Amino acid sequence: MIEFKDVGLVYPNGTEGLKNINVKINEGEFVVIVGLSGAGKSTFIRSINRLVTPTSGSLLVDGEDILNYHSGNLRKLRTKVGMIFQNYNLVKRSNVFKNVLAGRLGHTGTLRSILNLYSKEDKSLAYESLNRVNIAEKLYNRADELSGGQQQRVSIARVLTQKPKYILADEPVASLDPPTSHQVMTYLKKINKEDKITTIVNLHFIDMAMEYADRIIGMRAGEVVFDGPASEVTEKTFEEIYGRSIREDDLRGGADES
Amino acid sequence: MENLQLPPKPEKSLFKKIRAIFITLLVIAMYVWTFVGIDIDWGRAIERSISNFHRVVPKLFSPDWAAAGDVGLAMLETVFIAFAGSLMAAVLAVPLSFLAAQNMMGGKVVSTIGKWILSAIRAFPDLILAILFVVAVGPNAFAGVLAIAIGSTGMLGKMFSEIIESIDMDVVQAMEANGANKIQILFYGVIPQITPEFLSYAIYRFEVDIRASSILGIVGAGGIGTMIVFASSNRNWNEMGMILLAIIIVVTVIDFASARIRRKIV
């Protein structure tokens, strides 16, 4: 369980990234955070694995306040919180298998990982993860030979190999075309259901948020302005979250093609 | 199209106009001053080169094939000096480049010190280093190797550190986010990104070092330069022609080979 208690974050330049956030995310939920760019979605998500550090309040992950964590327990936290990025962040010159095995780094000793001495279980886990996102045939291809959607699937496989308890996805489909976006979201949803991994996804497309989310959290100017089950959400809600009327580019579309 | 009307260029201020004229005059004055200052006796220089031309230049074009064996051995030594020197430099430059790379050292303080060290090393010309090492280890090829090694470390270290600073740090962040420690990030996130460029620059530096090491012999640091000194003081222009031929062939071949290898790597 993840619990934000009065969390605030002020960046060194004075910008308020988060203001007085109080949110509780339960086990197994699929939460989508929506909001315009600059609303604090990324800051919110990156606080959970401490890529950014909130400056006030407390943030509990599994009952422990992570805000005072340092290198040792910070790494431990990060091994159970996997992350997926907008730009995939794969090592382009390494092959797919090595990229996916990198998901095991947090669980593997330094010397073993440097010498590439992964256990059989780790290797079969990596291969199985690639199979789950249907990209196992690209095992020995270099990451930069794959298309964007394929690279994002490899990065999902990397997170799966990590065996996390939570998955954070920061705008995972913003660089993809509509059919590929739906494919990636479908895999994330499937993993959430099958493995019971709590998943938090940042999106700015409202149709995708409504289609995939169990629960939607709306953010504006660093504050949570909406929090409720996806079934209660209408276009009106989004207009309130965004503070303006809904436009064409707030929709991803393409749901039928996938 | 014919109606295209660009907005007028902004007027240059009077200060900028005067500054441009001033700089132009300054550059002209410097040229005039240097040519007058070095006091070239043009008449004598031209006269001498005309009278020597037919005695020297044709001999350069009829190389002394009898000397080919000796020249070949000396050239081989030159290549060995360049290879050993640039290999040493490539190894030494790696830790220094990490020290000088801002994105690896977390802050500006350490990386600035690293950059200073590299600049200090680069400040010494190869020949000065060769003279120092001839004094230190004696007039042999080892002095040449050390001179090349130190001279190249400065340049390679700077290149390497710039390569490190240009890597994709998002990958590093992704690995931090999955709980990898610093050493694991180095091996999984950083080294795969830098290796091809590092190799490419090391090979390029070897190419440059071939040329550099062919003159080190002039100060006694081994290689073909020693033969150049002897040939010119004996006015043995046929042998000099042979030496030049050897240098041209070796440099061309290695340039060509290195260009092909580097294209493959990156």
- Asked if residue B4 is part of any domain, the answer here is no
A150: its two tokens: 């394929």
- Asked if residue B2 is part of any domain, the answer here is no
Taking CA–CA distances from B197, the nearest residue in chain A reads A93
pLDDT digits (tens, 9 = 90+) for A76-134: 999 999 999 999 999 998 999 999 999 999 888 888 988 888 999 999 999 999 999 99
Taking CA–CA distances from A160, the nearest residue in chain B reads B178
Best probe of the A interface among B178, B195, B198, B266, by most A CBs < 10 A, is B178
In a shared domain, residues B27 and B113? no
- Alpha-carbon gap, residue A180 to A174, rounded angstroms: 11
Tell me which chain A residues have a C-beta less than 8 angstroms from the C-beta of B173: 51, 85, 89
Taking CA–CA distances from B186, the nearest residue in chain A reads A114
Domain definitions of chain A by residue range: 2-71+81-250
Best probe of the B interface among A69, A89, A122, A159, by most B CBs < 10 A, is A89
Please provide the average confidence, as pLDDT, over all residues in chain B.
Answer: 90
Mind telling me how many Å the CA of B87 is from chain A's nearest CA?
24
- Asked if residue B238 is part of any domain, the answer here is yes
Mind telling me how many Å the CA of A89 is from chain B's nearest CA?
5
Say if residues A181 and A254 touch (Cβ distance below 8 Å). yes
Tell me which chain A residues have a C-beta less than 8 angstroms from the C-beta of B189: 91, 102
10 Å CB burial of residue A121 (0-12, 13-18, 19+) is exposed
Q: How many structural domains comprise chain B?
A: 2
- Asked if residue B9 is part of any domain, the answer here is no
Predicted complex ipTM: 0.84
* Phi, psi dihedral angles at A17 (to 5 degrees): -80, -40
Q: For chain A, how many residues are written?
A: 258
Tell me which chain B residues have a C-beta less than 8 angstroms from the C-beta of A155: 174
In a shared domain, residues B155 and B197? yes
- Alpha-carbon gap, residue A23 to A4, rounded angstroms: 5
pLDDT digits (tens, 9 = 90+) for A150-173: 999 999 999 999 999 999 999 999
Mean pLDDT for A228-249 is 87
pLDDT of A257 reads 45
pLDDT of B20 reads 92
Nearest residue, CB atoms, B174 vs list A89, A108, A110: A89
Beta carbons of A102 and B196 less than 8 Å apart: no
* Phi, psi dihedral angles at A127 (to 5 degrees): -65, -40
- Asked if residue B5 is part of any domain, the answer here is no
Nearest residue, CB atoms, A105 vs list B168, B180, B193: B180
Tell me which chain B residues have a C-beta less than 8 angstroms from the C-beta of A90: 171, 174
Class for the domain spanning A2-71+81-250:
alpha beta
In a shared domain, residues B154 and B39? no
A1: its two tokens: 């369980």
Tell me which chain A residues have a C-beta less than 8 angstroms from the C-beta of B190: none
In this prediction, residue A258 has a pLDDT band, given cuts at 50, 70 and 90, of very low
Can you spell out the DSSP letters for chain A?
Answer: -EEEEEEEEE-TTS-EEEEEEEEEE-TT-EEEEE--TTSSHHHHHHHHTTSS--SEEEEEETTEE-TT--HHHHHHHHHHEEEE-TT----TTSBHHHHHHGGGGGGS-HHHHHTT---HHHHHHHHHHHHHTT-GGGTTSBGGGS-HHHHHHHHHHHHHHT--SEEEESSTTTTS-HHHHHHHHHHHHHHHHHH--EEEEEE--HHHHHHH-SEEEEEETTEEEEEEEGGG--HHHHHHHHTS---GGG----TTT-
pTM of this prediction? 0.81
In a shared domain, residues B53 and B76? no
Q: Could you tell me which residues are beta bridge partners of residue A199?
A: A30, A167
Mind telling me how many Å the CA of A240 is from chain B's nearest CA?
33
Beta carbons of A78 and B193 less than 8 Å apart: no
Taking CA–CA distances from B190, the nearest residue in chain A reads A91
- Asked if residue B3 is part of any domain, the answer here is no
pLDDT digits (tens, 9 = 90+) for B26-68: 999 999 988 888 877 888 888 888 888 888 888 888 888 888 8
Helix-helix angle B141-165:B68-100, to 10 degrees: 40
Beta carbons of A93 and B193 less than 8 Å apart: yes
Taking CA–CA distances from A85, the nearest residue in chain B reads B174
In a shared domain, residues B121 and B19? no
In a shared domain, residues B103 and B44? no
In a shared domain, residues B18 and B148? no
Nearest residue, CB atoms, A51 vs list B177, B179, B189: B177
Put simply, whether B58 touches A (Cβ < 8 Å) is: no
- Asked if residue B71 is part of any domain, the answer here is yes
Mind telling me how many Å the CA of A131 is from chain B's nearest CA?
21
pLDDT of A57 reads 94
- The whole domain housing B174 covers 65-265
**Rounded to 5°, angle at Cα B96 from B95 and B97:** 90
In a shared domain, residues B54 and B104? no
Beta carbons of A93 and B181 less than 8 Å apart: no
Q: Is the pLDDT of residue A255 over 70?
A: no
In a shared domain, residues B154 and B260? yes
- Asked if residue B34 is part of any domain, the answer here is yes
- Alpha-carbon gap, residue B11 to B121, rounded angstroms: 46
Mind telling me how many Å the CA of A105 is from chain B's nearest CA?
5
Beta carbons of A113 and B188 less than 8 Å apart: yes
